[in-house]
């Protein structure tokens, strides 16, 4: 089924009541998308499948939206098809028009005032069409960025409160020490900041940069109010690494479908691990 904004909110309420987070997995094409969807159904877990604007540039929004819609319709467990880290409101509108039922407008690089204005525009368009919106406060950096980005990018609880109050956004990604990609140092999550944000922000909070955060810290974040955990790099590197391994073992004359069957299995294993880490299978 294709979930409306209200139904997505109900999923988050269930996650909150059950003490788990809804996992979010980034995909790059249709092979990894189907691997993620199959793993979620086999684990009986609700998930987000997300793509970055980069993937839209490569494949096209109509094709992605159409396949996303079919994937959601055919799934026996809730799947939400999401646009991740979009800096451009117009691309959010196009995604909404093409069947995405969740978008992230990321204007976290701009001032609080501009962030609010941009998020407001997207919220207005999305909510009129029953679509869920996520925003970001503070700046979640990429591992490998120069300088001490972990400290400089952190959110403040008051900015988070104001952004949510002013925009009516549905979920909030909070910069509290996580980074995208693989860490070159041990990630230090600021749980005190997370607790402060949770006290003043009524919407579900999102942990970005799940890859590389130790399981105990992900669990601790969930116990402190995180309701969505984003995993991108771990999926992508597993996928590409598995394709490489399959080609090395089976040779370049092997049919694409056979190479991808191997890669899909590897991706499914990682997706299932993350579902367990998030306790989203209801058993972990
Ligand atoms: Zn992210």
Give pLDDT tens digits for 38-61: 999 999 999 999 999 999 999 999
Inter-residue contact 175 to 138 (CB < 8 Å)? yes
232 CA to middle of ligand 1, Å? Answer: 8
173 CA to middle of ligand 1, Å? Answer: 8
- Res. 281: pLDDT tops 90: yes
Phi, psi (deg, nearest 5) at residue 157 = -60, -35
User: How many angstroms separate the Cα of 19 from the Cα of each of 86, 180, 220?
Assistant: 29, 24, 11
Give 150's pLDDT tier (boundaries 50, 70, 90). Answer: very low
pLDDT for position 151? 44
The alpha carbon of 266 is separated from its chain's Cα centroid by a whole number of angstroms, namely 20
88 CA to middle of ligand 1, Å? Answer: 15
12 CA to middle of ligand 1, Å? Answer: 19
Phi, psi (deg, nearest 5) at residue 40 = -65, -40
Ranges 86-95, 151-160, 236-245, 262-271: which has the least confidence = 151-160
- Res. 148: pLDDT tops 50: no
280 CA to middle of ligand 1, Å? Answer: 19
Q: How many whole angstroms separate alpha carbon 81 and alpha carbon 29?
A: 13
Inter-residue contact 233 to 182 (CB < 8 Å)? yes
181 CA to middle of ligand 1, Å? Answer: 9
Q: Is 281 a catalytic residue?
A: no
Q: How many whole angstroms separate alpha carbon 8 and alpha carbon 178?
A: 25
**Residue-averaged pLDDT of the chain:** 94
- Residue 60 CB neighbours (<10 A): 12
pLDDT for position 143? 67
Residue 281 tokens read as 């299978």
248 CA to middle of ligand 1, Å? Answer: 32
Q: One of 29, 57, 84, 217 is an active-site residue; which one?
A: 84
Could you tell me what percent of the chain has a pLDDT over 70? 96
194 CA to middle of ligand 1, Å? Answer: 17
pTM, whole model, 2 decimals? 0.95
- Count of residues making up the chain: 284
Residue 152 tokens read as 């400089």
- Residue 151 CB neighbours (<10 A): 10
Residue 113 tokens read as 């005032």
Element (H, E) at 230: strand 226-231
- Res. 145: pLDDT tops 70: no
C-alpha dihedral over 242, 60, 103, 19, to 10 degrees?
A: -20
pLDDT for position 149? 42
34 CA to middle of ligand 1, Å? Answer: 21
């Amino acid at each position: 089924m294709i979930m409306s904004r209200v139904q997505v909110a109900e999923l988050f309420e269930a996650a909150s009541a059950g003490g788990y987070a809804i996992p979010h997995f980034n995909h790059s094409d249709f092979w990894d998308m189907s691997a993620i969807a199959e793993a979620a159904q086999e684990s009986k877990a609700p998930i987000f499948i997300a793509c970055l604007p980069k993937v839209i540039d490569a494949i096209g929004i109509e094709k992605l939206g159409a396949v996303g819609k079919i994937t959601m319709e055919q799934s026996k467990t809730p799947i939400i098809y999401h646009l991740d880290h979009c800096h451009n409101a117009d691309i959010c509108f196009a995604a909404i028009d093409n069947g995405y039922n969740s978008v992230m407008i990321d204007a976290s690089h701009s001032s609080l005032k501009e962030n609010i204005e941009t998020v407001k525009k997207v919220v207005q368009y999305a909510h009129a069409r029953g679509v869920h919106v996520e925003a970001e406060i503070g700046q979640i950096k990429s591992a490998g960025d120069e300088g001490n980005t972990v400290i400089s990018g952190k959110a403040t609880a008051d900015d988070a409160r104001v952004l949510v109050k002013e925009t009516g956004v549905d979920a909030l990604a909070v910069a509290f020490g996580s980074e995208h990609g693989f860490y070159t140092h041990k990630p230090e999550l600021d749980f005190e900041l997370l607790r402060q944000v949770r006290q003043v922000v009524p919407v579900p909070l999102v942990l970005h940069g799940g890859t590389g955060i130790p399981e105990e810290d992900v669990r601790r974040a969930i116990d402190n109010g995180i309701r969505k955990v984003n995993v991108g790099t771990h999926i992508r590197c597993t996928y590409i690494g598995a394709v490489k391994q399959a080609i090395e073992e089976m040779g370049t004359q092997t049919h694409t479908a056979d190479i991808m069957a191997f890669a899909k299995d590897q991706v499914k294993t990682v997706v299932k691990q993350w579902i367990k880490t998030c306790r989203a299978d209801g058993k972990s």
